[in-house]
Structure 1
C-alpha cells in the first residue's frame, strides 16, 4: 500500500514538473518572438528618427516606417501581453509621432501600464512628463515616485533628473549627497551631463557619499573608518572631478573639454608661482 502511494506521488511530481517545464518553455518562446517583433519595430522607428529632423513630422514618406513600427509593437503585445518593452515603445509612438491611428489617450494609458509593470524607461518618461506637463504637489510627488523607481534600476536619464531634483530641493529636501550619488551613477552609465554635474560639485568641495568610494560599506564598517585603519589617503577631489570631465569629453560633451582645459591652465598657473 505504502509503495503504491509513493509510486503515485512520484508519478504526480513527474507530471507536474513536465507541465511546469512546458509552461516555462512556452513563456520563453513567446518572449523570444515578442522581442523579435520589438526589434523590427525599433529598427523602423530608428529609421524615422534618422530623417525626421530633415523633414516635416507629418511627411508622408515617414508613414510606412511608422506603420511598420506600430504593427510590430502591437504584434509583440499580442504574442506576449506582459511585455513591458512593447508597451513602452507603442506608447512612444502614440505620444510622440504622427503614426496612423495615433491616440494620445492610448499612449498615456500604455505608458502608465508599462511604468507600473516595472519598465525603467517608462517610469522615467512618465515621471518626466508629470513634472513638465502638470503643476502641483500631488503631481510632483507622483513624478518623484516614478523617477525614484527608475533610478533604483539605474536608468541614467532618471538618475540625472533625480539628481537635479535633489540639487535644487525641488519637491524634496535639498540633499547634495543624494544629488552626487545620482550624478555619479548616471555618469557611470554613460550620461555626459551627469558627469559634468558630478565633476562641478566635486570641484566645489563636495565629497562623494561613502557608498561610492573605494571602500564600500562592508559588514557595517564605513569607508571612512576603513581608510583610517588602512592609512588610505583621502581621494583627491580635483582628480575625481577630472575623471568625470574626461568621461564627459569621451562622450563628446564640449563642457568636458572646457573643464579639462580650465584645470590644465590652473595647474600650470600654480606651478609657475
Structure 2
C-alpha cells in the first residue's frame, strides 16, 4: 500500500509538471533557433566584410562581387527564416538591399526591414535610420524623426549615435545648443573606442571648455578611492591636458591619424614650455 501511495504521488507530480516541461521545451527551441540564426548571420557578415575589403579596388557593380553578395543575402534571409524575431538579421539584410548592388536587391524592402529592426529595438538599425532621416528628403519633420531614433540608440549607448548626437548638441542643429550634453555624449562614445568622439572631446578640453558635473563626479569617486590609497588631492585633481591626451590616445589606438597629430602637438607644446622655463 505504501509503495502504491508513493507511486501515485509521483505520477501526480509528473502530470502537474507537464505545462512547465512544455514551456521549458519552448524556451529550448527558441534558444536553438536563435543560435542557428546567429550562425547564418556570422556567415553573411563574413561575406560582406570580404566585399568591403575589396570594393575600393573595383567597380561597385563588378560581377566578381556577386557571389559574395548573394552569399550574404541568402544567409541573412535564412537567419530570418530560422528566427523571425532576430533584429540583427533584419538590420543586415536591410543593408544588403539598400547599400550594395546585389542581384535582386530592393531599396523599398531594405527600408521596410530597417524600420522594423529599429522599432524592434536594434541599436544599429536605430542609428542607421536616424542617419537616413537626417538626409534631405521630402518627408515632413524628418529632423525630429531622426532625433527620435538617434536618442533611442543613445539610450543603448551606441557609439556612433552618441557621437552624432554630441555633434547635434554642439552645433545646436534642430535642438538647443548644449555643450555639457555634447561633452557627455563625446565622453561616453570615446569610452567605447569611437575615435571621432575622442578627438572632439579632447580638442574641446584644450579650448578650455568646462567639464560638466555629470562627468567630474566620476572622477570624484575615483579620487575618493585614491585618497584611501594615500594620494593627495593635488595628485588626483582633474588635469584637462592629461585628460585630452588620454582621449587622443584612444583615437591613435584606433588608427585615427588626427589622434597621432594631436599627441604630437601636445608633445611639441610641452617641449616649448619646458624650453621657456629653462631659459628663464
TM-score normalised per structure 2: 0.86
Paired residues for 1:52-201 under 5 Å: 52-134=55-137, 138-201=141-204
Matching residue within 54, 57, 70 for 1:51: 54
Q: 1:9 to 1:118 in 2, by over 3 A?
A: farther
- The equivalent of 1:27 in structure 2 is 30
Query: What is the rounded CA distance, in whole Å, between the counterparts of 1:72 and 1:35 in structure 2?
Result: 10
- The equivalent of 1:219 in structure 2 is none
SS of corresponding position for 2:141: helix
| Deviation (angstroms), 1:135 | 6.7
Query: What is the rounded CA distance, in whole Å, between the counterparts of 2:255 and 2:148 in structure 1?
Result: 31
Alignment pair present for 1:238 and 2:256: no
195-204 vs 129-138, greater mean Cα deviation: 129-138
46-55 vs 123-132, greater mean Cα deviation: 46-55
Look at both structures and tell me which one has the larger radius of gyration over its CA atoms: 2
Q: Is the 8 A contact 1:207 1:237 kept in 2?
A: no
Query: What is the rounded CA distance, in whole Å, between the counterparts of 2:105 and 2:201 in structure 1?
Result: 40
Alignment pair present for 1:36 and 2:39: yes
| Deviation (angstroms), 1:43 | 1.0
TM-score normalised per structure 1: 0.88
Q: 1:144 to 1:232 in 2, by over 3 A?
A: farther
Q: Is the 8 A contact 1:127 1:143 kept in 2?
A: yes
SS of corresponding position for 1:215: helix
Q: 1:270 to 1:112 in 2, by over 3 A?
A: same
- The equivalent of 2:257 in structure 1 is 254
Query: What is the rounded CA distance, in whole Å, between the counterparts of 2:218 and 2:129 in structure 1?
Result: 35
Q: 1:64 to 1:176 in 2, by over 3 A?
A: same
SS of corresponding position for 1:206: coil
Structure 1 stretches of 5 or more lacking a match?
A: 1-5, 217-221
Query: What is the rounded CA distance, in whole Å, between the counterparts of 1:215 and 1:52 in structure 2?
Result: 43
Alignment pair present for 1:212 and 2:212: no
Query: What is the rounded CA distance, in whole Å, between the counterparts of 2:175 and 2:233 in structure 1?
Result: 35
- The equivalent of 2:5 in structure 1 is none
Query: What is the rounded CA distance, in whole Å, between the counterparts of 1:21 and 1:118 in structure 2?
Result: 26
84-93 vs 16-25, greater mean Cα deviation: 16-25
How many equivalent residue pairs? 263
